[in-house]
Amino acid sequence: MNQNLLLCGVGGQGIVLVSKLVASCAMQKGYDVMSAETIGMAQKGGSVFSFLRFGEEIASPMFGRGQADLMIAFEPAEAVRMLPYLKKDGCIIVNTKPVMPVTAVLKASAYQGTEMLAYLKQNVSRLILVNGEKACHEIGSPRVLNMIMLGTAVRHGLLPFSVSEAETAMRQNVRPQFAELNQKALAYAESEK
């Protein structure tokens, strides 16, 4: 059985690292892994994604709409944008903090993120909300959102490996001076709403 994961968010949120860690854990489990992600200009504040698949017989690194078993969305509007890729009964983890694009700030537009969350609540049966802003604040760094999101997915049993396996992969992939902080974020347990 293949598993399809879709990560999405805004350039600069650290999605690529999460994709790497999931891939490395899945490889450890003996799966074949393929992934595809946004690289290039869109990484500068644009919408970014990473498709990741593991299992036995995978032909393509990308998959079509309605095929993601799990989506980890780092931003509410990006979750909505990519929602068509989620399976009918798929699960989605969403960071509730919106990232305002410059275009929206300039136009003093109404985008707040709450309208996106309301839409998600109406249309997704398995929705897990993460208050990323609060979590980052409690951990003491604005740059650990990615580990908080990964930790949440693992703790909910949505990925076939444990928090400590994710931690091992993380330690192999981040600079030693950031390992402690990232470990805290991976292990961060937010009371569910």
Residues 92-111 that bind another protein (CB under 8 A): 100-106, 108-109, 111
Q: Which stretch binds another protein (CB under 8 A): 18-26, 146-154, 155-163, 183-191?
A: 18-26
Contact call for residue 148 and another protein (CB under 8 A): no
Task: Select from 29, 65, 121, 134 the one that contacts another protein (CB under 8 A).
Answer: 65
Helix axes 163-173, 145-155, angle to 10 degrees: 150
Read off φ and ψ for residue 8, nearest 5 degrees. -145, 160
Q: What is the C-alpha to C-alpha distance for residues 116 and 134, in angstroms, rounded to an integer?
A: 19
Q: Are 54 and 2 in contact (CB under 8 A)?
A: yes
Give CA–CA dist 127/80, Å, rounded. Answer: 12
Answer yes or no whether residue 41 interacts with another protein by CB under 8 A.
yes
Question: In angstroms, what is the minimal distance from the CB of 72 to another protein?
Answer: 17
Nearer to another protein, 23 or 128 (CB): 23
Distance (Å) of CA 168 to CA 19, 21, 23, 159, 179:
15, 9, 13, 15, 10
- Give the footprint of another protein on this chain (CB under 8 A): 10-12, 19, 23-24, 27, 31-37, 39-47, 59-67, 77, 80-81, 83-84, 87-88, 100-106, 108-109, 111, 115-116, 119, 122-123, 136, 142-143
